[in-house]
Amino acid sequence: NAGVTQTPKFQVLKTGQSMTLQCAQDMNHNSMYWYRQDPGMGLRLIYYSASEGTTDKGEVPNGYNVSRLNKREFSLRLESAAPSQTSVYFCASKEQSRRRGNTIYFGEGSWLTVV
Amino acid sequence: GESVGLHLPTLSVQEGDNSIINCAYSNSASDYFIWYKQESGKGPQFIIDIRSNMDKRQGQRVTVLLNKTVKHLSLQIAATQPGDSAVYFCAEKETSYDKVIFGPGTSLSVIP
C-alpha cells in the first residue's frame, strides 16, 4: 500500500514549456486534490476532483489543467510554464468514512522550478 | 492574482512546555476542521480533526478547541518535544463541498 504517489519529484522547466505532474493513489478514495506551496507559505488549492469524471477549480486554478483519468489517477498539467509557477506541488486524496471522518493523505511533493 | 509573499508566523517554546497554535477561519459554512503537521521536505500529515457540533476534542498529547462564535480554532500540544518542531496548518471544509482549504500555517520551534 503505497498511499499517494506523485511524479516527478524534481523538475526544471524553461518558461513556455509544458509538463504534466502525475498522481496516483491506491486507497480507493473518491476525492483527489492538487495544492501548491510556495516557500514559507501555506497550501493553496489548485483543483480538486470529488469523484471520477468530475473536476472543480480551487483557489488558484489559472495556468493549470487537470484530468481525473480514473479513480486512481489525477494529473496536473502546465500548458505554458511561467516563473510564477515555481513551487512545490502536493497531490492528495481523501478518505470519507463515518468512523475516520475526512482524512486527507498527501504525497511527498513535486519540486518544480521554472526558469 | 498573485498573493503577496508573507512568511509564516513563528512560535518558539521550551521543551516540556505546552504549545498553543491558533487559527482563524473565514467561512461560516465550514463544519469540519483539521490540523496538519508538516516537517521540512515532507507532505502534511493529519494530526486531529473536529466537527462543528463539538467544542473540544482530545488526542494523544493534542487538543483541538473550536469557537464557532468568533471562527477560531486552536491546537494545544502538551509537553512539547523537539520532534514537534514543524509547520502546523489548520484546514476547513463544508459538508456540501469536497473543497478543503488550508490556513497560512504556523512554524513551531522547540528549544531543547
pLDDT digits (tens, 9 = 90+) for B12-62: 999 999 999 999 998 888 889 999 999 998 999 999 999 999 999 999 999
As for how many domains chain B has, the answer is 1
Residue of A nearest to B100 (CA): A45
Which of B3, B34, B98 lies at the smallest CB-CB distance from A48?
A: B98
B42 to chain A nearest CA, in Å? 5
pLDDT of residue A70: 95
Does B28 map to a domain? yes
Exposed, middle or buried by CB within 10 Å (0-12, 13-18, 19+), for B35? buried
CATH number of the domain to which B24 belongs: 2.60.40.10
3-state SS assignment for residue A72: coil
Does B1 map to a domain? no
- At residue A85, φ and ψ (nearest 5 deg) are -95, 5
Q: For residue B103, which residues of chain A lie inside 8 Å, CB to CB?
A: 42
Range of the domain at B56: 10-111
pLDDT of residue A99: 57
Residue B4 has pLDDT above 70, yes or no: no
B3 to chain A nearest CA, in Å? 10
The Cα A104–Cα A94 span in angstroms is 4
Does B49 map to a domain? yes
The Cα B41–Cα B66 span in angstroms is 29
Does B2 map to a domain? no
Count Cβ atoms below 10 Å from residue A44 Cβ, excluding itself.
Answer: 18
**What cell does A2 get?**
503505497
The Cα A81–Cα A62 span in angstroms is 11
Contact check, Cβ <8 Å, A103/B34: yes
Contact check, Cβ <8 Å, B89/A43: yes
Does B4 map to a domain? no
For residue A101, name the pLDDT band (cuts at 50, 70, 90): low
Q: Using alpha carbons, list the distances in angstroms from residue A10 to A109, A110, B23, B81.
A: 9, 6, 31, 32
Q: For residue B41, which residues of chain A lie inside 8 Å, CB to CB?
A: 109
Query: Could you tell me if A101 lies within 8 Å of chain B, comparing CB atoms?
Result: yes
Does B5 map to a domain? no
Contact check, Cβ <8 Å, A109/B104: no
The Cα A60–Cα A58 span in angstroms is 6
Does B24 map to a domain? yes
Contact check, Cβ <8 Å, B49/A102: yes
Query: Could you tell me if A47 lies within 8 Å of chain B, comparing CB atoms?
Result: no
Does B79 map to a domain? yes
Q: Which of A7-11, A88-92, B3-7 has the lowest mean pLDDT?
A: B3-7
Residue A41 has pLDDT above 60, yes or no: yes
Query: Could you tell me if B33 lies within 8 Å of chain A, comparing CB atoms?
Result: no
The Cα B14–Cα A58 span in angstroms is 38
The Cα B42–Cα B35 span in angstroms is 16
A56 to chain B nearest CA, in Å? 9
